[in-house]
């Protein structure tokens, strides 16, 4: 008899409790080491100073809110410290999503159709691990 390995980290899942519609259909994206432009616009999501977002522009001219910990600022430019896509995920009440990352009041999720994107944490309720 063979056994199925048990994952070391249980899958994090959530259920959408408030509908979310994508606000930015053509988001900023960049890869580790890429140079981006940094503006002076800064926002603390939901007034939480630990959730600091900066308005940035990628090499293709796409702009969007970017977590401040994802880049190292050098004046008006910055170097990306990790890959990032500001892709948002539209979701309807009752949908179940898998959470793969979290930052600044947002979850990076995958829906049941294989679509990936960010959704605000206050639009979902985390489910207990299976």
- CATH at 106: 2.30.30.40
Number of folded domains that form the chain: 2
5 in a structural domain: no
Q: Residue with structure tokens 């985390």?
A: 126
Q: What pLDDT does residue 48 have?
A: 84
What integer pLDDT is reported at residue 47 of this predicted model? 86
Same domain, 74 and 98: no
Residue 70 shares a structural domain with residue 96: no
Q: Are residues 38 and 75 in the same domain?
A: yes
96 lies in the same domain as 106: yes
Quick one: pLDDT at residue 3?
38
Range of the domain at 111: 12-23+87-127
Sign for the CA dihedral angle at 130, 121, 55, 59 comes to positive
CB 11 within 8 A of CB 97: no
- Residue 1 falls inside a structural domain: no
Question: What pLDDT score was predicted for residue 128?
Answer: 82
User: Is residue 3, in this structure, part of any structural domain at all?
Assistant: no
Encode 58-71: b = buried (16+ Cβ within 10 Å), e = exposed: beeebbbbbbbebb
**Residue 69 in domain:** yes
- Which residues pair with residue 63 across a beta bridge? 57
Confidence (pTM): 0.82
Q: Which residues of the chain have pLDDT under 50?
A: 1-8
């Amino acid at each position: 008899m063979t056994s199925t390995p048990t994952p070391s980290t249980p899958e994090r899942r959530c259920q959408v409790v408030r509908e979310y519609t994508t606000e930015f259909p053509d988001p900023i994206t960049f890869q580790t080491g890429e140079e981006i432009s940094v503006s002076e616009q800064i926002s603390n999501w939901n007034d939480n100073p630990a959730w600091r977002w900066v308005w940035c522009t990628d090499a293709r001219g796409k702009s969007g809110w970017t977590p401040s910990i994802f880049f190292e600022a050098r004046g008006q430019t910055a170097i990306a410290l990790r890959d990032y896509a500001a892709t948002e995920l539209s979701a309807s009440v009752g949908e179940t999503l898998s959470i793969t990352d979290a930052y600044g009041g947002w979850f990076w999720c995958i829906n049941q159709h294989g679509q990936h994107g960010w959704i605000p944490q206050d639009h979902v309720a985390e489910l207990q691990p299976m």
